[in-house]
Structure 1
Amino acid sequence: MRNTARWATILGLTATAVCGPLAGAGLAAPNTAPASLYAPSALVLTAGHGENPATATPERAVTLSCTPRPAGTHPAAREACAELRQADGDVSALAVESSDALCTREYEPVVVTVDGVWEGRRVSYERTFSNECVKSAATSLFAF
Structure 2
Amino acid sequence: MPNTARWAATLTLTATAVCGPLMGSATAAPSLAPSGLYAPSALVLTTGHGQSAADATPERAVTLNCAPTASGTHPAAVDACAELRGIKGDLEGLTARNDVFCTRQYDPVVVTVAGVWQGKRVAYEHTFANECVKSSYGMTVFAF
Name the TM tier (shorter chain): 0.7 to 0.9
Where in structure 2 are the equivalents of 1:119-138 lying within 5 Å? 119-138=118-137
Superposed CA deviations along residues 6-40 of structure 1, whole A, max 9, x for unmatched, are 112102211211123555998x8x79637941111
Measured on the aligned residues, the alpha-carbon RMSD in Å equals 2.2
- Report runs of 4+ in structure 1 exceeding 6 Å deviation: none
Distance 1:125 1:25, change over 3 A: closer
Specify whether residues 77 and 130 from structure 1 end up closer, same or farther in structure 2 by C-alpha distance, changes over 3 A only: same
Q: 1:106 to 1:19 in 2, by over 3 A?
A: same
Q: TM-score, normalised by structure 2?
A: 0.86
Alignment of 1:1-144 (within 5 A): 1-20=2-21, 22=23, 33=32, 36-94=36-94, 96-139=95-138, 140-144=140-144
Shift in alpha-carbon separation, 1:36–1:7, aligned structure 2, 3 A = farther
Which structure has more strand as a fraction of its residues? 2
The alignment partner of 1:127 has SS state of strand
Structure 1 gap segments, 5+ residues each: none
What are structure 2's unaligned runs of at least 5 residues?
Answer: none
Deviations 1:100-127 (A, max 9, x none): 2022222111100000000110000000
Aligned pairs, number: 141
State the identity %.
52
